[in-house]
Structure 1
Amino acid sequence: MEQMRRFNTISEYNAFNNNETKHPLVTVVDLSKADPRQLSRMYFGFYIIFLKDVKCGDLVYGRDTYDYQEGTLVFLAPGQIAGSNGNSDFYQPKGHVLAFHPDLIHGTTLGRRIQEFTFFGYQSNEALHLSERERNLVVDCFSKIDYELDRGVDKHSKRLIVSNIELFLDYSVRFYDRQFITRDNVHQGILERFEQLLNDYFESEKPETVGLPSVNYCAEQLNLSSNYFGDLVKKETGKTAQEYIQAKLIDVAKEKIFDGSKTINQIAGELGFKYPQHFARVFKKRVGQTPNEYRSLN
């Protein structure tokens, strides 16, 4: 069985890559200093961002391969595992890695905002592809962080380092917004498939047997992570994926309400609601009328 490498501290990861540990909670790693290696599965106990500069095999998350080519960024949160595709060839890694421990950002604005950066939850085929200009900006952010690490720790270090990490992550949000727009060949048809998925779901017996469709369920059916899927729907429609599902639910509910042979309780069950009262609350919140009031007025 392939052995997993575990990196719980920044110093462990620096040692693995022949880089000096300048700060116990944050590092910018120059992978060209590392020894040639074979790809293997790795566990990280901290946030880590890979900037890849050379073709060195496929990076795998779970059972899927990252869309990970030269000039791309991959983001991993603490507790995630990345690995190889079984390629046993040795290669010389090249590129840069930004890694920071959660303890670094506790009590900072970045610590309070870190959940906003949903790309730390993206999975296969969802890496950030950079233009040359974007890549240069990322390298500049990394260089400023490394500059602060070279100066040694003083009363300004933490604020400046964390501010530069936050700036880099904010730029990454902008770059992903651009990618959602420009990578039409990857995203083409996602919304149409999402719409058809919901149509098929509500026309089947799944609502009665499984319940209401969730964002996670829809993302899995479309082979996307729930974070990436949710962000893509938001960028394309202005609605969250949950709001989109609820809008479809209400459209189906309105059509069913016109069928006078069914009670509101029966309709609630057919839509996947366990309790009719829950259906009535959701419907009134979205439509402004209860299902019975809507039936009477129409």
Structure 2
Amino acid sequence: MEEIIRVKSISQLHELMGAEKPAHPLISILDMAALDLGKKWVGIKVTSDLYTIGLKDKECGIEYGRNSYDFAEGAMFFTAPNQVVRSDEEQIAGEDCGWMLFFHPDLIRNTPLGKNIEHYHFFSYDVHEALHLSAAEQKTIIECRDLIQSEITQRIDHHSRKVIVSSLELILNFCTRFYERQFNTRSTASNDIMSQFESLLKDYYTSGKFAENGIPSIEYFAGQVHLSQSYLSDLLKKETGYAAKDHINNFIVEKAKTLLLSETDSISEIAYQLGFNYPHYFSRLFKLRTGFSPQEYRLSSNKN
């Protein structure tokens, strides 16, 4: 099995990267231009217990999961604990390659950010779904980063954690805004993905795959359109107001309404046609979406 190096702490990260001892035990910002990692990290897979926020301000190859990406100027990426990354290019000191902010989950534990960190879906985006910043946006992010850097390098007091975490949350909220802008400015590509998704969903049904393979997963559609699950779901929600799972469930309910108008198929048979192994799961979804059980809907429709 291929070796994967695991980084468990900020201090271990600094040691592995040949950086000075960290000023704070739970958060660090590293200037990549100051590091000379040579060839020893090329092709090495690394996972960690840390969150990462990075900004690459020149082309700098990195691989995340099975996807590779050459970062253009002003591109940000994010990783969460337990994700695997790998660099495909040698990092040489003096090259202007951006910065990376690392923080341990203990930093935000029992804070509002700790409770809401899962809502920042871009920590689950693939590298090729990086956030591309304008010059003004990049300036905003760097100003927030500098607030954190200043706080880290000062004497730590009982206000430090609150200030650092608030600044982190500010960065993430700005990135949420900037990603929405990115969805908007790439509306043609977004509409194309929307069309692909709807076509794939219809084809899955007409080919009998609902009955054969069960309800399709978000992972299935994401793989078909070459996006991560989180990015696809966020893109769909931005364009239509519904996440990918909601689109799938809405499609199922609409098909169910048509099938329920038939007198020949039982509720159980319709449930199996729509990918449910257990009819009561189908009935629960249908009532949740329509306010009627399948049988109540069938009877009320027949009366009309």
Tell me by how many angstroms 1:246 deviates: 1.1
- Tell me the equivalent position of 1:29: 30
Q: 1:251 to 1:118 in 2, by over 3 A?
A: same
Residue number in structure 2 paired with 1:63: 66
- The 8 Å contact of residues 207 and 270 in structure 1, kept in 2 or not, is answered as yes
**1:275 alignment partner, one of 271, 274, 278:** 278
- Which secondary structure state, in structure 2, belongs to the residue aligned with residue 83 of structure 1? strand
Of the three residues 105, 109, 124, the one matched with 1:106 is: 109
Tell me which residue corresponds to 2:79: 76
| CA deviation vs aligned residue, 1:88-123 (integer Å, no higher than 9, x gap) | 696836211111111111111111111111111111
Structure 1 residue 61, shift from structure 2 partner:
1.3
Does 2:13 align with 1:13? yes
d(CA) in 2 for partners of 1:35, 1:84 = 14
| Paired letter, 1:29 | L
Equivalent residue number for residue 204 of structure 1:
207
Taking the TM superposition and a 5 Å limit, the aligned residue runs for 1:117-128 are 117-128=120-131
Using the size of structure 2 for normalisation, the TM-score is 0.89
Deviation at 1:264, TM superposition (A): 2.2
Say if 1:47 and 1:100, in contact at 8 Å, map to a contact too.
Answer: yes
1:67 CA drift (Å) = 6.2
Q: Which residue of 1 aligns with 2:58?
A: 54
Equivalent pairs counted in the alignment come to: 296
Q: Say which is worse superposed, 41-50 or 227-236, in terms of deviation.
A: 41-50
1:128-207 equivalences in 2 (<5 Å): 128-207=131-210
Distance 1:88 1:130, change over 3 A: closer
Provide closer, same or farther for how the CA distance between residues 286 and 64 of structure 1 changes in structure 2, counting only shifts above 3 A.
Answer: same
2:62 & 2:180 partners in 1: Cα distance? 23
User: What does residue 249 of structure 2 align with?
Assistant: 246
Could you tell me how far apart the structure 2 residues matched to 1:278 and 1:24 are?
48
From 243, 248, 255, the equivalent of 2:258 is 255
What are the ranges of 5 or more consecutive residues in structure 2 without an aligned counterpart? none
- The answer for the alignment partner of 1:217 in structure 2 is 220
Q: Whole-Å Cα distance in 1 between the matches of residues 274 and 70 of structure 2?
A: 37
Q: Write the deviation string for residues 204-235 of structure 1: whole angstroms up to 9, x where unpaired.
A: 23212221122222222222111111111111
- Contact 2:23–2:152 at 8 Å: present in 1 too? yes
SS where residue 55 of structure 2 aligns?
Answer: strand
Bigger mean CA offset, 143-152 vs 216-225: 216-225
Alpha carbons of structure 1 residues 89 and 152: separation in structure 2 relative to 1, 3 Å? closer
Q: Is the 8 A contact 2:11 2:25 kept in 1?
A: yes
- Tell me if the contact between 2:35 and 2:91 (Cα under 8 Å) persists in the aligned partners: no
Task: Give the C-alpha shift of residue 187 in structure 1.
Answer: 2.6
* Maintained 8 Å contact 1:122/1:228: yes
Partners in 1 of 2:4 and 2:279 — Cα distance? Answer: 49
On the 8 A contact 1:67/1:127 being kept in 2, the answer is: no
* Alignment partners' CA distance in 2, 1:153 and 1:249: 55
Letter in 2 for 1:64: N
Distance in 1, matches of 2:294 and 2:206, equals 20
The answer to whether the Cα contact below 8 Å between 1:207 and 1:213 also exists between their aligned partners in 2 is yes
Q: Give the superposition deviation at 1:158.
A: 0.9
Distance 1:51 1:204, change over 3 A: same
- Runs of 4+ in structure 1 displaced over 4 angstroms? 1-5, 87-91
* Displacement of 1:196: 0.8
Please give the secondary structure, in 2, of the residue aligned with 1:175: helix
For 2:29 and 2:249, how far apart are their aligned partners in 1?
44
> How far off its partner does 1:263 sit?
2.2
After superposition, give the CA deviation of every residue in 1:127-162 in whole Å (9 maximum; x if it has no partner): 111010000011111100010111121111111111
**Alpha-carbon spacing, 1:188–1:17, altered in 2? closer, same or farther (3 Å):** farther
Displacement of 1:271: 0.7
Q: Does 1:44 align with 2:45?
A: no
1:55 maps to a residue whose letter is E
Secondary structure class of the residue paired with 1:35: coil
Q: Is the 8 A contact 2:57 2:71 kept in 1?
A: no
> SS of the residue aligned with 2:118?
helix
Report percent identity of matched pairs: 40
The letter of the residue matching 1:193 is Q
Gaps of at least 5 residues in structure 1 are: none
TM-score (norm 1): 0.91
